[in-house]
Structure 1
């Protein structure tokens, strides 16, 4: 198995949904061109919505399996709970259909209306019944961070279902200077991930829910690379002294995808967090994806370790069966 846990999909039914639901503020132009979203114009390519095209895309990149998750611009935590729930359920149905069309190659993560935590828990239960193997949420809802007590129903449900939770940045808090050069993505995504996981650790949320497994994308933001600073702060800052444990103690409950865009950074990530806590993640089919994910991982880690990162590490976490690889 060579699996990808950071692989985005957008069911085609979302286009029709936007066309008839003005509350989302998305204009549909032509068949699959979307305008007005948080990241500007968005064109749906077949690799996002067509199961066969997605599998072919995986094979082109040396992979054979994906755990699909919706692209974050489609979270819409800013709309009312009824609309958010309807969209989440529509997306989950679409991802389930894509996985059913290619059961040897595709699995899926649920999305939930996180702006309404009780509903999010209910939608997650239903999605789990329908076969999702994980859930993807934003690093915040824009107005609330994930350690806010209001999200306890969601965390409790994820723990009860023993379902991995992938954090993906989507709602950026205002940062001066990020309005140019794609810095909201290039720097902001990493920062939002770091804030989210550090708050979950420092607030005790992960200690209250030790059965929750967290996956953070983009190699974990700045966490692996600034772990020493986070650890040092516990010894010199009064507000850090009550920190439950050293942040590195959570590696294992927290896992990292391998998306670094740099071989030296990837080598450091594996050494810092442990190869057992690294998962293949590509960001396909988005333009910020790793162009050659498998060959880059092999070049850095060697065939044996790369096989574990793309195989057993993922299979054990998500409960996947290993298909016969057609990409080798």
Structure 2
């Protein structure tokens, strides 16, 4: 079985909300610096499935680069979208939960909801959550909840260097 663990899917609703939806290419910036490029296939699960089939990929593990620093509302949209993709395309997509890990109890509640109610299979964070290093004590409540849920964490490299 071939598993693509570096696979991004962006819910179209979220891209539109952030003004990043495009039939061509959109570039998101942070402080005037290009942060990421988004293209139309990022919002199109059927196009992604065709690409997966062409490349011989059986399963793709989903994460969303708009969610790593996203609001609670954005993370809910991602989590609900990923749960729906799993249901709709049984076995082809595996969704990772997103939660605004520095937002306290509401973030931890969303992580619980994504895993326990929506059925997602792990959580993804960036290597610099809110500019913090991964061993920052501010992240301990998040790590405690992840341990209690007994789920894996996928740490994606930070898109824009912060503090190195």
The TM-score by the shorter chain falls in which range?
0.7 to 0.9
SS of 2:154's partner is strand
More helix by share: 1
Q: CA deviation at 1:2?
A: 1.9
2:162 pairs with 1:173 = yes
Of 153, 156, 161, which residue of structure 1 is paired with 2:144?
156
Q: Which residue of 1 aligns with 2:15?
A: 15
Residues in 1 aligned to 2:20 and 2:50: alpha-carbon distance in whole angstroms: 27
Scaled by the length of structure 1, what TM-score is found? 0.44
Scaled by the length of structure 2, what TM-score is found? 0.83
Q: Which residue of 1 aligns with 2:79?
A: 92
2:114 pairs with 1:127 = yes
Q: CA deviation at 1:28?
A: 4.2
For residues 74 and 37 of structure 1, do their structure 2 counterparts lie closer, same or farther at Cα, with a shift above 3 Å needed? farther
Alignment length (residue pairs) = 159
Q: Which residue of 1 aligns with 2:69?
A: 76
Q: Is the 8 A contact 1:9 1:49 kept in 2?
A: yes
- Give the root-mean-square deviation of aligned CA atoms: 2.3
Residues in 2 aligned to 1:49 and 1:17: alpha-carbon distance in whole angstroms: 13
Q: Which residue of 2 aligns with 1:103?
A: 90
Q: Which residue of 1 aligns with 2:37?
A: 42
2:131 pairs with 1:143 = yes
Residues in 2 aligned to 1:146 and 1:43: alpha-carbon distance in whole angstroms: 26
Q: Which residue of 1 aligns with 2:4?
A: 4
Residues in 1 aligned to 2:58 and 2:21: alpha-carbon distance in whole angstroms: 33
Q: Is the 8 A contact 1:139 1:145 kept in 2?
A: yes
Q: Structure 1: any 5+ residue segments left out of the alignment?
A: 19-26, 78-83, 176-328
